[in-house]
Structure 1
Amino acid sequence: MGIPAKWNLTIGHLPHGPLNKISDVPGVTVGHCTLADGDVQTGVTALLPHQGDLFHEKLLAASHVINGFGKTTGLVQIDELGTLETPILFTNTLSVGTAETALVKYMLAQNPDICETTGSVNPVVCECNDSGLNDIRGLHVTEQNVFDALADCKADFAEGAVGAGRGMRCHGLKGGIGSASRVVELDGKNYTIGSLVLSNHAMFDDLMVGGTPIQQLLEAHIPPHEDKGSIITVLATDIPLSERQLRRLCHRALVGLSRTGSYCGNGSGEIVLAFTTANRMPHYADKALLPMTMLHDDAINPLFRAVAECVEESVLSSLFHAETVTGYHGKTVPCLTDLLEGKIERKK
């Protein structure tokens, strides 16, 4: 739902979709499996790009690495072929291998032709490091957690400290999963651009909320920290775009991150993935030439604005929906709403 209405914050100028989530793009759904038990504060989030057979009906896609301190799988093939053929998974850094194996099993179960009568499959798994709040060395994420997240996928999904976002910190506060959408009109028809972030990046003193520095809103006890986290951003749209145009959208995610105060530090991994549900690539084709529709580049500026607004609100949404969490070794990370509501002591 983006930033909850009670905070009376409006981000940008464009209208948003009915849910103000990436799932306002028809066919996109998101699910979580959350592990929240003492030292274990982690999980898995899954995104289904459409409700059909992804392997046989691939989506045009692109990625962009703003700062490459990350371990995401599948980007090399996406950048080479320009297609997405699996769900997108999010988890913690040391659980990427487990999640990838589970995603492969999920795809094999649905597609008996993989590695039999056709080629392999390109699983996409994204990560951030939740070691501050989670016993990440314990490798608590299981393959069943991945299957549970995939089975949980729906349009009206939870945000904040859920799924892969359970142990994440954003600007020194409790972060996690955030999402937003924007509607643009092209040739008299409304289209949607949506974003979903896994936020685990940036510094408290740099945080901007609706264009206002956090220090003007409150002064709180937030220990000094470096910008050593990461943020994964996924963009989805139902606008017919080419892989090149999708990559151009990826580049504009940085505008939204900057508006919230991120400057992409050395140890921070900022990775962006974009796809369109409109242009699809069949795995098997009877003809060598395929019809494809794409946007005229002169009409792309509203999309750039939509991406910037979506990403900015998605980051803030991850903060406003998170709750204060106590995890590994008793460490507590406060949430933004507790600070704003005075539930946590502020500096005198």
Structure 2
Amino acid sequence: MVKENRQKIRTHGLIVGKLPTGAKNDITDVAGVRVGHVTLDHPLDAGEGEYACTGVTAILPHGGSLFREKVTAASYVLNGFGKTTGLVQVNELGMLESPIMLTNTFSVPAVTQGTLQYMLDGHEEIGDTTGTINIVVGECNDSHLNSIRHCAVTPQDAIEAIRRASEGPVEEGAVGAGKGMVAFGYKGGIGSSSRIVRVDDACSYTVGVLVLSNFGRKEDLRIELLKSGSPALQEPADGSIIIVLATDAPVSDRQLLRLAKRTGIGLGRTGSHFGHGSGDIVIAFSTAHKIPHQATEWTETRTQLREDHPLMNELFAASAEATEEAIYNSLSQAVTTTGKKGNTIHALSFSSTN
């Protein structure tokens, strides 16, 4: 029987890549970044076997006003079988002005509404004395474990996930938006990892990744350590993944797009082939610059990494490594979960936790 006290994959001897991790080995190693979850895990009064096995996860680039102090951002679609909101404007303007919210497919409207209400409550100017706001929400389909048609997630759940966001270690596995997700036939969900890229003894940058993993079959897994004796879901499914990348490196939105593309390398290393029905989407941001919503100057000056400096290649490697390890962490930290109609998805078992 698998213990409930789950650990990151490194405790089982799997070391991904060559770059060092941050102190927590998760996305909150990027200073200022916050993560919060709301998890729903209860029967529904909607018929026998109907169950809420789902949730919401919020990622905040910093603890201030994201609308008044935006951050540089970009997104990249590896495969577009997804139902996100807000990415068109992110890519057009190269900025993020709301929390990044993750949930299940049918809860995107409720989470968008809740996040919008949270931002409106704290910003009396939005839609009145200034423009509207662009809310960013990503999703994966958790309908094997969650009674998704009953739309159990409410706008208040989104608000609460934002309020719970902290800079502490990220809770991973079957929590928040990851509660009902399945990866490689095992219990997946939220996973995170980070990498440190050193410029010299006095300067370094951090790349952090958080994933919502919900893709793949057992036979796709390329790491034998992870092919445990636990029963795996055999139903063929393309599944999906949302990858959120954060960094404190001073990069432009175009350079962030380049980093976002490299997360696909880490995803592919795990065994994914970006299936036909898979929503594989990356959202990336940098905390290096805060972009004021209102300013009197007509120009702005910022520091930006040189494109041809070797540091860019290190950041590319960090993006790939952190993504691969975040996916493994989503598996190693998840717990066996029972949901809709008694469906059960087993967690990976390891010799050290049997």
User: TM-score interval w.r.t. the shorter chain?
Assistant: over 0.9
Percent identity over the alignment is 49
Q: How far has the Cα of 1:110 moved from its partner?
A: 1.1
- The alpha-carbon deviation at position 213 of structure 1 amounts to 7.0
Measured in 1, the distance between the counterparts of 2:52 and 2:186 equals 18
Normalising by structure 1, what TM-score? 0.93
Whole-angstrom CA distance in 2 between matches of 1:141 and 1:340: 36
- Secondary structure of the residue that 1:270 maps to in structure 2? strand
Residues 211-253 of structure 1: CA distance to partner in whole angstroms, max 9, x if unpaired? x475xx5455434332321100000000000010000001001
Whether 2:32 is the aligned partner of 1:22: answer no
Q: Cα distance, 1:193 vs. partner? A: 0.3
Confirm whether residue 9 of structure 1 aligns to residue 14 of structure 2: yes
Go from structure 1 to structure 2 and tell me whether the alpha carbon gap of 1:200 and 1:162 turns closer, same or farther (over 3 Å shift): same
Which residue of the partner structure matches residue 294 of structure 1?
Answer: 304
1:298 Cα deviation from its structure 2 partner: 1.7
1:284 to 294, 312, 319: 294
**Aligned-pair distance for 1:113?**
0.7
Contact persistence 2:100–2:136 (CA under 8 A): yes
Q: Does 1:189 align with 2:189?
A: no
Amino acid at match of 2:174: A
Alignment-derived partner of residue 261 in structure 1: 271
Distance 2:136 2:71 in 1: 13
* In 1: Cα distance, 2:111 partner to 2:131 partner: 21
Give 1:146 deviation, angstroms: 1.1
For structure 1, the 5+ residue unaligned runs are: 344-348
Deviation at residue 199 of structure 1 after TM alignment: 0.4
Call closer, same or farther: CA 1:331–1:244 in 2, change over 3 Å: same
1:335 & 1:295 partners in 2: Cα distance? 41
Corresponding position: 1:235 with 2:249? no
Q: 1:98 aligns with which of 85, 110, 113?
A: 110
3-state SS of paired residue (2:204): strand
Give the alignment of 1:1-348 within 5 angstroms: 3-38=8-43, 39-155=51-167, 156-187=169-200, 188-209=202-223, 212=224, 214=226, 217-218=227-228, 221-299=231-309, 300-337=312-349
C-alpha distance in 1 between matches for 2:14 and 2:205: 23
Task: Work out whether residues 71 and 286 of structure 2, in 8 Å CA contact, stay in contact via their aligned partners in 1.
Answer: yes
Unaligned runs of 5+ in 2: 1-5, 44-50
How many residues align structurally? Answer: 338
1:93 is aligned with what amino acid? T
Letter in 2 for 1:7: H
Contact 1:198–1:232 (Cα < 8 Å) also in 2: yes
Q: Which amino acid aligns with 1:170?
A: A
The AA in structure 2 aligned to 1:158 is E
Cα RMSD for the two superposed structures: 1.6
> Alpha-carbon deviation of 1:147?
1.5
Shift of 1:2: 7.9
Change (3 A) 1:48 1:218: closer
Indicate if the aligned counterparts of 1:3 and 1:320 stay in contact, CA closer than 8 A. yes
Matched residue type, 1:259 = R
Q: Work out the CA distance in 2 between the residues paired with 1:26 and 1:93.
A: 30
Question: Would the aligned equivalents of 2:228 and 2:348 in 1 still touch at CA under 8 Å?
Answer: no
4+ long deviations beyond 3 Å = 217-221, 339-343
